[in-house]
Amino acid sequence: MSKLKLAVVIGSTRETRFGPKPAKWIADLAAQRPEFDVEIVDLKDFDLPLFNEAASNAWAPSKDPRAVAWQKKIGEFDAYVVVAAEYNHSVTGSLKNAFDQAYVEWARKPIGFVGYGGVGAARAIEHARNIAVELQMVPVRSATHIAGGDFFAVWQGGKEISEIEGSIGASAKSLLDELAWWGAATKAARAQG
């Protein structure tokens, strides 16, 4: 089977966001593995409007060309890692909107999460997993949480993420292992129709 196309989605669009650092880190780790072709997908590059279609694209084609461009991009991939921030104990508004702008393209594909912040975006990731289930995705069990002192050491302390890999490396390996397994399984099932 050909390599799995893996999108690493940066789930925040704020100017001062931390997301690009862990996105690059997990993308670099995934790119070292033979199972994946990896691309970072930044929500900031898509200028998505707030969802305002007649219905989900599972029921009616989207009309806004920005939504259609997002759907085409997301549809290119076999698996996803979402780099998640936590705003007010949940997902960012931009990430929820990005989920809502597509449906068909997400379905029957695995998704995992790298979260960051005081509690490693644990609550946001739990909410995102529920959203993913509704989109007929396969949320994998393992996630990587960059939390507490590790988060602050990188965010404000000048450390690189590679310097805290002792704390988060094993969870990242598990996350990528599970995405590889589920990605191969779901890709094979989709190929069979």
Kindly report, residue by residue over 13-45, the tens digit of the pLDDT. 999 999 999 999 999 999 999 999 999 999 999
Predicted TM-score (pTM) above 0.85: yes
All residues at 6 or more sequence positions from 190 whose CB lies less than 8 Å from its CB, including other chains: 108
pLDDT tens column, 94-146: 999 999 999 999 999 999 999 999 999 999 999 999 999 999 999 999 999 99
